[in-house]
Amino acid sequence: MTDFVEALTGVYNAEGSLIGEVRYAIGKIFGSAHCALCDISHRGVKEKDEFRECRAGLPVPLVVVHLDERSPEVAGLTEGRTPCVVAHGAGAPFILLDAVRLEACGGDVGKFQDALAEAMAARGLEFGPAK
């Protein structure tokens, strides 16, 4: 039996508040802050067109959130394990792409799409109807 993924949540390794964003930007400049998912999705402060197209091309929603925007369920699963991409389906949510896999993408959206497809195939998953 194939398991289905009905939604994805990408979790940045940064706070989404104005103070959090400034803290991340300063940390990035000085090398004390890094988020591989930010590198994939953004160029500077603007979302990459390729990432927007990637999200639009998925058959299920991919919502990206900051640390302070996570649902309690996602926060419990991802605490200390960000950045990551969480898969949601019929069972309990789980981390589909961890920080190591995201880092290996080197900020490249195409490599992110490949990593997502590989992780889905390795677990025998398919995209199902969106929630």
Average pLDDT value over all residues in the chain: 89
DSSP letters, 5-50, are EEEEEEE-SS--SHHHHHHHHHHHHHTS---HHHHHHEETTEEPHH
Prior bond of 83 cis (ω within 30°): yes
Residues in the chain: 131
Model pLDDT, residue 44: 77
Confidence of residue 21 (pLDDT cuts 50, 70, 90): low
Confidence of residue 1 (pLDDT cuts 50, 70, 90): very low
| High-pLDDT (> 90) share of the chain, % | 73
Question: Residue ranges per domain, the chain?
Answer: 3-127
Could you report how far apart the first and last alpha carbons of the chain are, in Å? 20
pTM of the model: 0.89
